[in-house]
Structure 1
Amino acid sequence: MHRYKVREIAQQCGLSEATVDRVLNGRPGVRESTRAEVRQAIADLDKQRAQLRLNGRRYLIDVVMQTPQRFSDAFRAAVEAELPAFAPAVPRARFHLWESGSAAQTAEALARIKGSHGVILKAQDEPEVADAVNRLVASGVPVVTYTTDVANSDRCAYVGIDNHGAGQTAAFLVDQWLGQQPSAVLITLSRTVFRGEGEREVGFRSGLRGSGRQIVEVSDSDGIDATNERLVLDALQRHPEIGAVYSPGGGNTATVRAFESLGRACRVFVAHDLDADNRALLRAGKLSVVLHNDLRADARLAIRVILAQHRALPEEPVRPTPVQVITPYNLPS
């Protein structure tokens, strides 16, 4: 049985009930253009039903993130800018944000969430986080992971870029820019328990395989400048051959300072995300490119997925968003 009556579909598309019935039951003798009209009518009815569900309804969405403040500030602004687009629904957001901590802290934050219609989560890929996600989902609260996945959980979708592909893109750019120069490459990670950064690193290493370039890794800075600067200084002093940087984890202002304090040149610097720091570094010529994805589009998609879980919007496939290669000359306003 179809979710709409034959008469309702016929009224929507202006065809006879007999014709609609033939289309719905896959009977022959109907032009493809007529079948397309019926499919469009059903899609329009879905939209109308969604609008009725949305009308004046309030949704409370929790954004839970362990991330440097520069990124959480940017994503918070993106979420708040997108919320009015879901009118006539009235979505509101609560933000639970911190810069460093353990998986236990994340699990505790998730356990404290009450009265939520959905969670957007950027967190460690650890068993206790997955367990906390599963408990939320079992209680009827859908969870969308953002930028970095908690894959072995019951989350309903991952929203963000193809992290492995982004790492391969970074490797291609670094190798092209360095050319014949035998420079080693520094890769800076905020913390290895974030799956997204790990996928970027694996993609980067696979992209440079066979190039002969040494890759030096620093990690566990949480993307915080003071910690990252100390780690990068140590790596540069131990590896005078480093002449390029790939930064999946942030803390790029500190990395630039470390190079400058030693009087060292960084020939190529590929970073992620157009936060305030990276915009300034890109304009100043301190970064070569920034690999970016549209935060507002990400926020919009994550909210749509949550509302679809409540059948307030039609479900749609969620695929990794394409990464944008941003230079000082195509910097979005």
Structure 2
Amino acid sequence: MPHRYPVREIARQAGVSEATVDRVLHRRSGVREGTVLQVEQAIADLDRQRTQLRLSGRQFMIDLVMETPRQFSRLVREALELELPGLRPAVIRARYHLNETWETDDLIAKLDAIVRQGSHGVVLKAPDTPAVAEAIGRLTARRIPVITLVTDVPMSTRVAYVGMDNRAAGATAGYLMCQWLRHVDADVLVMTSSEMFRGEEEREMGFRAAMRTYDPDRKVIVVTDSDGLDETCGPLTTRTLREHPGVAAVYSIGGGNKGIVAAFGREDRTCEAFIGHDLGDANRALLRSGHLTAVLHHDLRADMRAVAQTVMGFHGALPGDHRPRASGIQIITPHNVPED
């Protein structure tokens, strides 16, 4: 009977003598069938627990490197820290490198600093550029796995992408928008934070594809480079409303929704439908006040769990392939806002 454990350990697990275990392992006669099953079950139990034995005392240091509005980075940080206790007996610690805007040279310098100091893994939300892909390659060469979060750098050596299917999310937003505006004459404003984020580009592509399918004559106006910040989105929205009198609906891909709402208010314009992303404090408040019609949300705690399992699997602390699946897309309305 194949096994990898000392006879004494199997006997302790099965609650029988070492001599009995020896007879079972060598398939000798004189052992009751129930006892044989007991020993087999003990070996199976040890196999399952072997993962935990392997994790015992293991410590992992991961680095979160993110260019994102503060509200989203806070959500990610909170989600990770809520998941960490459930990962025991492994211990995962995190270092945070979070900026709302990041010069490319400074971002690359931070990634190269991690190459020099070492890490068990990097969780990265960054633009999809050749320079970023090359920096990921340098991390990979030092056996530091990179997991991209919510926006991907697909032409790189990153080991996994964690987050929702962004094209499907955009298509979901497009489908909902078409349903809500079915009897409304309104142009749609699509606001993104940057053209360099692959995830936002895919959301916009999914949205446009759905609009072409369900409402091909609807006008869509895209405004980019808002950085996802209220102070930038407000003036950009104001300018767009003045230039396009027909705008009366919004799909906000990159954030800055308070600024967008404020601009509609200042211009005394009605927003018939407003779809955003992620459940930060601002979006929760805008949902409850009725300014946001719906938020497309995904379970960040599940994402952080997938990140941790990917890192541990990469370093041989978990058996099998821990390639993450795309996060489920949740449609949150004022009536089903989850508790904080």
TM-score band, normalised by the shorter chain?
0.7 to 0.9
Q: Alignment partner for residue 267 of structure 2, among 259, 262, 270?
A: 262
2:144 equivalent to 1:141: yes
CA RMSD, Structure 1 to Structure 2 (Å)? 2.6
Q: Deviations over 1:1-38 (max 9, x none)?
A: x9958x99x99999x7699xxxxxxxxxxxxxxxxxx9
Kindly indicate whether residue 234 of structure 2 is the aligned counterpart of residue 233 of structure 1: no
Percent of residue pairs bearing the same amino acid type: 47
Question: Is the counterpart of residue 57 in structure 1 residue 58 in structure 2?
Answer: yes
Deviation at 1:296, TM superposition (A): 1.0
CA distance in structure 1 between the aligned counterparts of 2:292 and 2:174, rounded to whole angstroms: 15
Whole-Å separation in 2 of the counterparts to 1:39 and 1:63: 41
Task: Give the aligned residue type for 2:64.
Answer: V
Name the CA shift for 1:53/1:72 in 2 (closer, same or farther; >3 Å): same
Distance between the aligned counterparts of 1:213 and 1:128, measured in 2? 37
Moved over 3 A (4+): 2-5, 10-14, 16-19, 38-42, 44-47
- Which of 325, 329, 335 is 1:329 aligned to? 335
Residues 185-225 of structure 1: CA distance to partner in whole angstroms, max 9, x if unpaired? 00000001000000000000000005211110111111011
How far apart are 1:102 and its partner, in Å? 3.0
5+ residue gaps, structure 1, are 20-37
Instruction: Give the aligned partner of residue 310 of structure 1.
Output: 315
Deviations 1:35-63 (CA, angstroms, capped at 9, x unpaired): xxx99976x55542321221122111111
Cα deviation 1:89-121 (Å, max 9, x = unaligned):
121100000001233322111111123111111
2:180 aligned residue (164, 177, 180): 177
Match for 1:167 among 167, 170, 175? 170
Structure 1 residue matching 2:227: 3-state secondary structure: coil
Compared CA separation, residues 309 and 261, structure 1 to 2 (3 A): same
DSSP-derived class of the 2:119 partner: coil
Match of 1:295 in 2: 300
Partner of 2:37: none
Map Cα deviations across residues 128-155 of structure 1 (whole Å, 9 max, x no partner).
1011111101101111100000101111
Change (3 A) 1:150 1:51: same
Equivalent residues of 2:59, 2:92 under 8 A apart: yes
**TM-score normalised to structure 1 length:** 0.87
- Given the superposition, is the C-alpha separation of residues 55 and 232 from structure 1 closer, same or farther in structure 2, using an over 3 Å criterion? same
* Structure-2 separation of matches of 1:244 and 1:286: 11
Change (3 A) 1:172 1:17: farther
In the TM superposition, what whole-angstrom CA distance separates every residue of 1:148-171 from its partner, at most 9, and x where no partner exists? 001011111100001000000000
Q: Is the 8 A contact 2:148 2:162 kept in 1?
A: yes
Letter in 2 for 1:83: L
Distance 1:18 1:248 in 2: 64
Q: Please, which runs of 5 or more residues in structure 2 have no aligned partner? A: 15-20, 28-39
If the length of structure 2 is used for normalisation, what is the TM-score?
Answer: 0.86
Equivalent position SS for 2:295? strand
- Picking from 205, 210, 213, the partner of 2:208 is 205
